[in-house]
Amino acid sequence: MKIKDERVEQTKNKIGTELMQLMYLFIVLSFVVKGLYFKMDLSQCLTEYVILIATPIYQMVRSHQLGVVFSTHPKEQMTLKKNIISAIVGIVVFYFFWLSSGKQVSKEFAVGYITTYLLLFFLIRIAVVRMEERRKEKLEKEYED
């Protein structure tokens, strides 16, 4: 049996993580360029869209399976400043897609979309952080014994 050096394994994991983040960034850029520059609709960007949605879901499910909590302080992720910046970025992206599409969208639709987005964004964000906080406490108690 070959002995593995822990430093080498950690370095491999770090490189893999950086590569995944870089690939995710390229997918985000691809999605934005296709939508804003090439004026493609969602059906033409479906692969990127699915990857953008499925990656964090896979990461969350897999971390639950392995009993790992990514953040040691989930409540710190809930700072007002971070949440407002994230929500504004989502609204700005919607606004640019709306402008670049050339489609006429009523103000009521835009306001309804933005309101729905903000409501879902904050509800999901609060739920996930609370789940992670409970999970962190449970794992701490489990490993404490």
In three-state secondary structure terms, 93 is: helix
This prediction has a pTM of: 0.68
Model confidence at 26, in pLDDT bands (50, 70, 90)? very high
User: For the purposes of burial, counting CB atoms within 10 Å of the CB of 113, is it exposed (0-12), middle (13-18) or buried (19 or more)?
Assistant: middle
Q: Region 133-142: what's the mean pLDDT?
A: 85
pLDDT digits (tens, 9 = 90+) for 55-105: 988 988 898 888 887 766 666 666 788 888 888 888 887 787 777 777 777
Does residue 23 surpass a pLDDT of 90?
yes
* Model confidence at 16: pLDDT above 80: yes
Which tokens belong to 5?
A: 């050096």
Q: What pLDDT was estimated at residue 72?
A: 65
- pLDDT at site 15: 96
Q: Judging by beta carbons within 10 Å of its beta carbon (0-12, 13-18, 19+), is residue 21 exposed, middle or buried? A: exposed
Sequence ranges of the domains in the chain? 1-68, 69-145
| Strand, coil or helix: 59 | helix
Residue with tokens 């987005």: 117
Q: Is the pLDDT assigned to residue 108 strictly greater than 80? A: yes
